[in-house]
């Protein structure tokens, strides 16, 4: 089920919400939310709810065992079991064929012809998110930063919580444990206005901006060979904003839904395109993933404590794996490596870079991020290479007589209007977490109008969120 569907908006959500608030008591509320979350997840493919149940059961039990284990060795073994289970499942469903393919390429370079099978594996939606979420729970217990819950339903509710189940933010148990513990003490929804504001604005970001941009740029990417310099820039810029409004729209909707049910989810986007350097960008983009990678990968690798060279290597490694997390494709790995290299370069030349005028820093950061998205969007390297060549073919850019400028796809007026709106919103306005939401009736009426506008566009063409594929 997706948030921007009629079944979710007019059947699932009202039922889930009303019954939740009519129920009293911890256990029944955990049970209700868990049941609804499983229905939400199973609506896509019911078989995969058993996978989520397996992850939940294993990590719940291991969390308790780790806490009770006396020796350090035993604790390590139990944690390893949790990590192997989570990464094993993630690895099998997401990277099995990719791994075999890599093995095939490697073996062929040594003159070996391995007859490896290709399995037809369906990637369970949201597996990258809930395995990371569940894994952070056992790691935090191992690090003695968290006491395990003894309530299975509470943990099951945490892992499956439908508002953020399939595309984040990656919520850690310790971040919402107080909301979970006090789930029975909330008698009435007091943040409904915040929930509606976040949800409707998220929906509008997704449906009105991201999807409208996608409708124009997808055919451009499908025919990228025909694009001229301007066309390539328009397509890549379009994708830059599409991805941001799609993903931050989803996050806003998730946060809004959280408010409706009495949960406060962490901020996942903090106006990333306003970043002044690449390090700042990663403090603002997909915050829940970057902090997860920082806390559970970069710092355990040594972080910046082991000298400059080791810091650069750690940054590169963390970002390479971060790239791979997004999908089983070398383009994602290169995208991660590219950002790792940028972070390392920034560390190395931070003093000089920080002295540049802020406007220049912002523009440079934005340009570097856009270049990265070319790899992220491309299906293979030849596409990325072709797009980058077209974008930076300055000789042709100023050649007014060349139809290479606008070959086939002339700048689309509607796309230009959308990009202008996206540019102003992403670079110059407050983000949803910076706005102080007041309980004003005029706002409610205006939100009603925006919601209907979003419904109109949803009715034309529904599309899934980009981050569902990760």
Partner 1 sequence: MIISAKKILAKKELCFVFTFCASVIFFISFIFTLSVFVDPRGIFGTNLIKPVILTNRTEKLNVLGAKNPPPEIIIFGSSRVFEMDPLLVQKYSGWRAYNASVSYARPEEYLSMAKYIVNDLGIKPKIFLVGFSVGEFNNDDIDPQTIMSPLLRKYLPISRKQILIQGIKIFKESINPRYLRDIGLALFWRATSYPDEQVAFDENGYQKFDKNAPINRERISQSRPAVDLFLNLTNLNSERKKYFESFLKFSGDNNIEVIAFITPMPGISLQALRKQTQYETIYQELVALMNGLENENYFKFYDFSGTNKFNGDEESGFNDSTHPSHKNLDIIVKKIFGGKT
Query: Are residues 137 and 63 in contact, defined by beta-carbon separation less than 8 angstroms?
Result: yes
Among residues 137, 162, 285, 451, the one that binds partner 1 under rule CB under 8 A: 451
Shortest reach from residue 190's CB to partner 1, in Å: 5
Shortest reach from residue 245's CB to partner 1, in Å: 18
Is 286 labeled as catalytic in the residue annotation?
A: no
Q: What is the CA radius of gyration of the chain?
A: 23
Shortest reach from residue 154's CB to partner 1, in Å: 22
Nearest Cα to Cα of residue 249 among 432, 430, 455, 428: 432
Give the range of 64-72, 171-179, 295-303, 454-462 binding partner 1 by CB under 8 A.
454-462
Among residues 145, 414, 444, 469, the one that binds partner 1 under rule CB under 8 A: 444
Task: For residue 214, report the phi and psi dihedrals to the nearest 5 degrees.
Answer: -60, -40
Among residues 190, 395, 427, 430, the one that binds partner 1 under rule CB under 8 A: 190
Residues in contact with partner 1, total (CB under 8 A)?
Answer: 29
User: Which tokens belong to 254?
Assistant: 């998730």
Shortest reach from residue 29's CB to partner 1, in Å: 12
Give the range of 233-241, 293-301, 401-409, 440-448 binding partner 1 by CB under 8 A.
440-448
Residue 237 or 255 having the CB closest to partner 1: 255
Nearest Cα to Cα of residue 278 among 221, 335, 326: 335
Q: Is residue 196 a contact point for partner 1 (CB under 8 A)?
A: yes
CB-neighbour burial class of residue 174 (10 A; exposed 0-12, middle 13-18, buried 19+): middle
Task: For residue 264, report the phi and psi dihedrals to the nearest 5 degrees.
Answer: -110, 105
Measure the CA angle with vertex 237, ends 231 and 240; round to 5°.
145
Shortest reach from residue 74's CB to partner 1, in Å: 46
Alpha helices, DSSP H, located in 110-172: 127-142, 152-160
Q: Is residue 449 a contact point for partner 1 (CB under 8 A)?
A: yes
Residue 84 or 444 having the CB closest to partner 1: 444
Residue 193 or 412 having the CB closest to partner 1: 193
| Tokens 């070959």, located at residue | 407
Q: CA-CA-CA-CA torsion for 119, 123, 129, 131, nearest 10 degrees?
A: -40
Q: Is residue 381 a contact point for partner 1 (CB under 8 A)?
A: no
Residue-level length of the chain: 470
Shortest reach from residue 443's CB to partner 1, in Å: 8
Omega into 279 within 30° of 0, i.e. cis?
A: no
Give the range of 83-91, 188-196, 340-348, 372-380 binding partner 1 by CB under 8 A.
188-196
Measure the CA angle with vertex 169, ends 441 and 139; round to 5°.
140
Among residues 22, 122, 359, 394, the one that binds partner 1 under rule CB under 8 A: 22
Q: Give residues in contact with partner 1 (CB under 8 A).
A: 6, 17-18, 21-22, 188-193, 196, 439-441, 443-449, 451-452, 455-457, 459-460
Catalytic residue ranges? 326
């Amino acid at each position: 089920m997706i948030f921007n569907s009629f079944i979710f908006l007019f059947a699932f959500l009202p039922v889930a919400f009303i019954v939740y608030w009519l129920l009293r008591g911890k256990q029944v509320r955990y049970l209700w939310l868990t049941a609804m979350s499983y229905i939400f997840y199973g609506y896509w493919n019911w078989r995969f709810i058993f996978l989520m149940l397996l992850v939940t059961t294993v990590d719940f039990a291991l969390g308790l065992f780790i806490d009770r284990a006396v020796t350090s060795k035993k604790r390590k073994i139990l944690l390893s079991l949790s990590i192997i289970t989570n990464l094993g499942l993630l690895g099998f469903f997401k990277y099995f064929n990719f791994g075999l393919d890599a093995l095939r390429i490697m073996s062929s370079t040594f003159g070996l012809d391995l007859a490896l099978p290709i399995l037809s594996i369906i990637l369970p939606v949201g597996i990258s998110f809930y395995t990371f979420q569940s894994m952070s729970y056992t790691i935090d217990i191992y690090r003695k930063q968290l006491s395990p819950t003894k309530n299975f339903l509470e943990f099951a509710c945490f892992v499956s919580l439908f508002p953020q189940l399939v595309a984040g933010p990656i919520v850690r148990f310790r971040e919402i444990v107080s909301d979970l513990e006090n789930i029975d003490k909330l008698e009435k929804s007091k943040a409904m206005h915040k929930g509606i504001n976040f949800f409707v604005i998220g929906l509008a970001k997704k449906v009105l901006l991201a999807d409208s941009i996608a409708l124009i740029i997808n055919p451009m990417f499908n025919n990228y060979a025909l694009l001229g310099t301007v066309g390539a820039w328009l397509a890549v810029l379009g994708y830059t904003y599409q991805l941001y409004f799609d993903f931050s729209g989803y996050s806003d909707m998730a946060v809004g839904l959280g408010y409706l049910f009495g949960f406060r989810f962490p901020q996942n986007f903090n106006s990333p395109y306003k970043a002044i350097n690449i390090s700042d960008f990663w403090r603002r983009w997909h915050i829940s993933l970057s902090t997860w990678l920082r806390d559970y990968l970069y710092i355990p690798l040594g972080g910046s404590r082991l000298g400059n060279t080791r810091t650069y290597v750690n940054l590169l490694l963390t970002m390479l794996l971060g790239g791979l997390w997004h999908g089983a494709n070398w383009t994602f790995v290169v995208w991660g490596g590219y950002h790792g290299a940028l972070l390392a370069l920034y560390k190395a030349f931070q003093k000089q870079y920080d002295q540049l005028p802020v406007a220049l820093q912002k523009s440079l950061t934005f340009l570097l991020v856009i270049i990265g998205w070319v790899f992220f969007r491309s299906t293979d390297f030849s596409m990325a290479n072709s797009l980058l060549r077209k974008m930076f073919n300055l000789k042709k850019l100023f050649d007014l007589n060349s139809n290479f400028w606008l070959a086939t796809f002339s700048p689309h007026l509607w796309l230009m209007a959308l990009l202008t709106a996206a540019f102003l919103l992403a670079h110059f306005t407050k983000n949803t977490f910076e706005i102080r939401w007041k309980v004003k009736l005029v706002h409610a009426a205006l939100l009603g109008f925006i919601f209907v506008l979003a419904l109109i566009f949803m009715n034309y063409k529904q599309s899934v969120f980009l981050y569902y594929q990760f």
